[in-house]
A = this chain, B = another copy of it.
Amino acid sequence: MDYLDCEDEVLHQDKIEEARKKMMNEDIIFDLSNLYKVFSDETRLRILNALLISELCVCDISDLLGMTHSSISHQLKVLREMKLVKAKKVGKSVYYSLKDDHIQKIIEIGVEHINEKEI
């Protein structure tokens, strides 16, 4: 059904071709979307924010955020799978900390954008 299509004269074939050539490949887009998905949840952002300040065990995080251990543990699993945090087991406790400093940078740029937006 060509009601979906625009007249040829409307399309900018040169621009479309240029974009087609220069765009990132689909695998990277997929990975990127999954990475940002991690930052799109308030609970995970709060966990990352807390770990940016101090290494913490699951109990600490639950207490700090006022949420159940289960909920926190599920989210920590997501963060582990995305290689954003690392876990260190000591006795019955598991201590979590950030794995690299991209996290801080990503959050900083986000904050910048939000602050500029308000102007």
Interface residues of A (CB under 8 A from B): 4-6, 10-12, 15-16, 18-20, 22-24, 26, 28-37, 39-42, 45-46, 49-50, 53-57, 59-60, 62-64, 68-69, 83, 92-93, 100, 102, 105-107, 109-114, 116-117
Dominant secondary structure of chain A at its interface with chain B: helix
5 closest pairs, A vs B, by CB? Answer: A6-B59, A36-B39, A37-B40, A102-B113, A36-B40
| Extra pairs beyond A32-B110, A36-B45 (17, CB < 8 Å) | A4-B62, A4-B69, A10-B57, A10-B92, A10-B93, A11-B59, A16-B64, A19-B54, A22-B53, A23-B50, A24-B111, A28-B111, A29-B46, A33-B40, A35-B110, A36-B36, A40-B40
